[in-house]
Amino acid sequence: MSAQAAPAIWLYRRIGPNEQSSWIGKLTFGPVSYDHSRGGGLLLSFDYQPDDRNDQDRWLRLDIDLLSQRTAAPRRYGTASVNWRDHPRLSPAIGGPVEVNWMLLPEDIERIELDHGIGTSPGAPWTFQVVVEGLSSGPAGAVATAGDGTLTIAASDWQTLMQQVGYGLGPGARSALSQSTHDHPTWLDAEKCLTRARELLRAGEGRAALAECLSQFEALTTLPYRAESWRGRWAVPPQKDAGLVAALSGHCSYLNKIGHHRDSKPDPASREHKQMPLDQWEAELVVAASHHYLGCALRLDSLVPAPAKTTP
């Protein structure tokens, strides 16, 4: 998968009491892929092009961090490591590929996706600040090296990477539930049904994500935003039936009015039927709620028989 950047990370070293800078080379961004060989994670590829005047002997340390670009304070995501065999060659100065393994826990990915939703337009690429810091030794002694650049991953590529990593529902959505609930077949079925909705949410398409949630309820019953579609579906006491009807039809009504339909009354100025306002934060809450409501409906379908029909 291609990653565009601006256009490379220039590595500079500081020499002498005045801390004058000189560059030792640059790391040009290459593909980002799923790392099958080193226990998972993402593999960042670079092409190293050295400065011919470089006279350093060896690396003492080389660190790479990936930070947020959408938060007020920099936030570090996961752990990036460079194998020693992949360090840029200093002596002799030889160019070539450099690979970085970027390990991300589910908590890291969830944080990335929450941060990505801050002021992001639908389909916006995923961007990260890449900071390189190192220490090398040579004739001038130990020399500090630093550089930074921007890694950009297309939204479609990020989606594919998350599928390869196996990331689906973030740990934050599970925190309020017991392990037995997570492992229940109907919860897992609801998670699978809403996979497409989460993909749309990840791409910044909140309204389309809500419409996709509605379609999963429509797979259970026609017109799920109407109370009569749920009334009497399960053989439960009348009071519980009323509560289930209000909860499920009310939630589906929200999905229908916000995610599917435009305003029923045209705007006086433009004469257009406007879409209802919806931000990423609200969309995430509603998709999460859809998982709970859909899981509840599926579980009731599996446990509670429909009331017996009486014959005249």
- Amino acid type, 213: C
pLDDT digits (tens, 9 = 90+) for 273-301: 677 888 877 888 899 899 999 999 999 99
What pLDDT was estimated at residue 4? 47
Rounded CA-CA distance 60/310 in Å is 83
What pLDDT was estimated at residue 240? 95
| Token representation of residue 63 | 């660190």
DSSP calls for 83-150: -GGGSPP-SS---EEEEEEEE--HHHHHHHHHHHTTTPPTTPPEEEEEEEEEEEEETTEEEEEEEEEE
**pLDDT bracket for residue 6 (50, 70, 90):** very low
**Residue 202 in this model has a pLDDT that exceeds 50:** yes
Contacts of 160 (CB under 8 A, 6+ apart): 1
Compute the Cα dihedral for 285, 289, 292, 294 and give only its sign. negative
| Token representation of residue 204 | 């910044």
Percent of the chain with pLDDT over 90: 31
Between 93 and 255, residue with greater pLDDT: 255
Q: What is the 8-class DSSP label of residue 183?
A: T
Between 15 and 28, residue with greater pLDDT: 28
What pLDDT was estimated at residue 307? 63
Q: What is the mean pLDDT of the chain?
A: 81
Q: Which of 126-130, 137-141, 214-218, 271-275 has the lowest mean pLDDT?
A: 271-275
pLDDT digits (tens, 9 = 90+) for 225-235: 999 999 999 99
pLDDT digits (tens, 9 = 90+) for 99-111: 889 998 888 888 8
What pLDDT was estimated at residue 275? 78
pLDDT digits (tens, 9 = 90+) for 16-69: 555 556 777 888 998 899 887 766 689 998 888 877 665 556 777 888 999 987
What pLDDT was estimated at residue 5? 42
For the chain, the domains span 3-163, 169-303
| Token representation of residue 300 | 């009731």
pLDDT digits (tens, 9 = 90+) for 180-197: 676 678 888 998 999 899
What pLDDT was estimated at residue 77? 92
What pLDDT was estimated at residue 1? 54
Buried residues in 207-245 as b, exposed as e (16+ CB within 10 A) = bbbbbbbbbbbbebbeebbeeebbeebbeeeeeebeebb
* CB-count exposure of residue 115 (10 Å: 0-12, 13-18, 19+): middle
